[in-house]
Amino acid sequence: METKIDILRKTATRLSASDHYAWGHMGSCNCGHLAQEVTELSKAEIHAFAMQRYGDWSTQVREYCPTSGLPIDWIIEQLMAAGFTTRELHELEYLENDQVLKFLPGGKRWLARNKREDVVAYLEAWADMLAADSLVNSLTAPQTVIAG
């Protein structure tokens, strides 16, 4: 199973190479590209599923209901199964997690939520932050000593 770090890096690579980025399109926006990576659905499928309920990604994750039977809730469920929280999805759509922003090359700065290069930078910084946290955790975890 892929880690969040792997998924974020692959999404950043996908977005960098894609001709299709539109913040106002549910399948081609920040969360839409992440959903494409996790679900392997097309941008058109994700957009069509999202349009069955009102709102942008922020509204969709706020309204998430695991028993609704709506396809967008299945997509959100898949994102959550991959390790993402609804809060993280909201923050991705608006590029607003302060901890992630601190990991940007050159330090914290404001990013435009609808600018492809800024989304890629955010995804990469998020992956870098998680990788750094993972390294710190592995170095500070109690070590098992086997007596011989």
Where are the domains positioned within the chain?
4-140
Per-residue pLDDT reduced to its tens digit, 88-110: 999 999 999 999 999 999 999 99
9-38 per-position pLDDT tens digit: 999 999 999 889 999 999 999 999 999 999
Residue 134 confidence class, pLDDT cut points 50, 70, 90:
confident
Mean pLDDT, rounded, for 120-141: 83
The pLDDT score that the predictor gives to residue 92 is 97
Per the listing, tokens 């209901």 go with 65
pTM of the predicted model as reported, rounded to 2 decimal places: 0.89
Q: What is the pLDDT of residue 145?
A: 59
